[in-house]
Amino acid sequence: MSVHLKQDRPDTRNVLDKTRQGVIGAPLPRPEGLLKTTGTATYAAEYAAEGCLEGVLVTVPVVRGAVTAIDEEQVRAMPGVVAVLSDKRMTGRPAQGMAGEAPFQPAQEVCYWGQPVALVVAQSFEQARDAAKRLVVECRGEDAPLDPAAVDAEESESTRQGDLAHAMAEAAHSVDITVTTEGHASAAMEPHAALAQWDGERLTVHASLQMLKFNRAELADSLGLEQDQVRLLSPYVGGGFGSKLGVSQEVVAAALAAMQLGRPVRVVMSRQQVFQVVERRSETHQRVRLAADAQGRLTGFGHEARVSNLPGESFAEPVLQSSHLLYAGDNRLLRLEVARIHRMTAGSVRAPGEAVGVQTVEQAMDMLAAKAGIDPVELRLRNLPDKHPENGKAFSSRKLAECLERGAAAFGWEERPRAPRHTREGEWWIGTGMASAARVHSVVEAKARVTLRPGGTALVETDMTDIGTGTYAILGQVAGEMLGLAPADIEVRLGDTELPPGSGSGGSVGAASCGSAVFLACEGLRRKLAERLGINSDDLTLKDGFVRWSGGEKALPELLGNAPLDCVGHFEPGDSTQDLAVSSFGAFFAEVAVNRWTGETRVRRMTGAFGFGRVLNARTARSQCLGGMTWCIGNALTESLLFDPVDGHLANCDLAEYHVPVNRDVPDCEVLLLEERDAAASPIQAKGVGELGLCGGAGAIANAIHDACGARVFAYPMTPDRVLAAMPEG
């Protein structure tokens, strides 16, 4: 049995508000939490396979050119070495479609420093590592553009309405700033890893991946196999942050080696290789222009950005994504351009677009508030559009005003003139700042199977992944609420392409998409139970393992009998958002201390208020928001990819030199979850939360730095040297 819904209209039934189990939204712990915290959850590199060989990737030290020769003879003679494989499918991005490509040929193209070109396979990891270090790869290097500011760029996106230049000239108050952000690495805890096995007809790969149904298609395409010849397993993933959305080189290399050698092969990237090879967030160069009347209402809004990527890549960091809908202003210019340079591929990293775009707009809004003499919270409230400012669509729901007001109250925000250097504690200036948050919402097609077992328990199955976001918990809660079962009576199986294809984890689509698929499957089961009783499913109440209706009640096992009952839910996006603007919103408030002598910034406290539809699990949702706010601190103060301007190599390619926020950098953070029901967002009225907490918070910290010490810093991260240089004298 299956239930298919293509959501062509908002679902206003709010079914989950009428159920009685009481687990939806509850702050329940993750069912797999004990396994993870005790080290017994098995990750990709930890699976055992008899006779498994170990592979180590070999990369090239040129930024652009070609491989002319690989001297395999010397390393083949080293102890334990089984093979040296060089295949064009390990050179490009595997997801690009390399099926049928021949093994290494002279003049193999190289596009960036650190690109993998070979795999050394040996009996042990140590043998493979030592041999890989000694493998001589001869390259012909060529000059290549490395600086995105030094090359012509191509336009990727533009919106023009009215006359922004005229609005700026006539404005009572205006702001025109240019801000730069450095590139970012995903920096997931678990490195990229794969263990591949080939039985002559079918390939099985344990890998660290986010989007299995898409990854299966990518890997099959890369290897020239049919999709049903490939099985991927990723039941536990130690973080992804976008870096594992697509199949990367270690997966293809392990698969190729296993197929050629007839033995299992494991390939794990070193931390340095993860930084050098896996996709980055592009650096950005942004200009924001705001024009306002005497009351601080926007008459003009401009946001232009330059990003970079390799030649031929279609992705462009969507910096302007929420700028289109966040604030009003009739005269608008939004423009995105891409510079083609030779660094590793730029792709999705931690809330692509808004993570670096919203914070820049929020800096400009803070400056406008100061010029207009209006409190920063009030300025934003005055400029919230009643409808999408460019296409006129109504918002499906929007909690931004409430987030601003509730967040300000919880934080203790004072409406006062924002005069820098108002508070000093010893050698530290103390200041506060705030910013809005916004993240566009989307859903994708997803399937899930739910089975009611004879004993009165349930099984939820989908290839959806849990990358630390709480998928195991929330899918069990949706099923438990719909079927009247305690979470302990529900088993959730994830991360296997043998299961129904879910949405995958990326773009904050998972909870709404796969949650809706589970919801639909449970609706089908409820109808089936109602049919057995000869009643309408709307008359059913399922709670604590009992089925109740106006004529009586039965224990669920009694109604099921000895045979299981299952249903596949198939959710598909439709036209429900065609005439609506759907987004999640929030607000950040931060207090910082800035050292008057060194420019060091310490975040002392943060408050975030977020509205993202139905809260499916208050604990995991709060955790997601806390994680986003932590990354905001990294965006604002510490994180940057640093490339050598001469040869293009990444200079800080490990966690010692790429500075993610650590425990001492992160204060106690307060999270407010503002419940709402967005009928257009999904059948369960939920929207994405995973990335919202990262979209704008760095701007609140930047504004707090200015409030503390008077420094307006227009380059992220705002390191001590930059803050010190921007401090006004005296």
Three-class SS state of 471: helix
Q: Of all residues in the chain, what percent are helix, strand and coil, respectively (each to 5)?
A: 30, 30, 45
**Hey, what are 625's tokens?**
């928001």
Strand partners, 583: 440
List, in order, residues 6 or more apart from 471 with CB less than 8 Å away.
464, 465, 492, 494, 505, 510, 511, 514
Q: How many CB atoms lie within 10 A of CB 119?
A: 27
Q: What is the DSSP string of 303-365?
A: EEEEEEE-TT------TTTTTTTSS--SEEEEEEEEEE-SSSPB---SSTTHHHHHHHHHHHH
Q: Which of 438, 346, 426 is nearest to 397 (CA)?
A: 438
Residue that the structure tokens 């794969």 belong to: 194
Do residues 220 and 297 make contact, with C-beta atoms less than 8 angstroms apart? no
Three-class SS state of 160: strand
Q: How many CB atoms lie within 10 A of CB 678?
A: 28
Q: Which of 701, 635, 627 is nearest to 669 (CA)?
A: 627
Three-class SS state of 581: strand
Q: Which residues are catalytic?
A: 691
In order of 136, 178, 273, 659, 660, the CA distances from 656 in angstroms are 28, 30, 14, 7, 9
Amino acid at 424: R
Do residues 712 and 726 make contact, with C-beta atoms less than 8 angstroms apart? yes
- Is the backbone of residue 368 left (phi > 0), alpha (psi -120 to 50) or beta? alpha
Q: How many CB atoms lie within 10 A of CB 483?
A: 27
Q: Which of 123, 118, 130 is nearest to 82 (CA)?
A: 123
**Torsion sign across C-alpha atoms 407, 413, 417, 422:** negative
Q: Which of 324, 321, 325 is nearest to 348 (CA)?
A: 321
Strand partners, 543: 546
Residue that the structure tokens 């948050």 belong to: 437
Amino acid at 141: G
Strand partners, 609: 587, 672
**Would you call 692 exposed, middle or buried from its count of C-beta atoms within 10 A (0-12, 13-18, 19+)?**
buried
Q: How many CB atoms lie within 10 A of CB 212?
A: 27
Helix axes 471-483, 510-533, angle to 10 degrees: 20
Host H or E run for residue 233:
strand 230-233
Do residues 108 and 117 make contact, with C-beta atoms less than 8 angstroms apart? yes
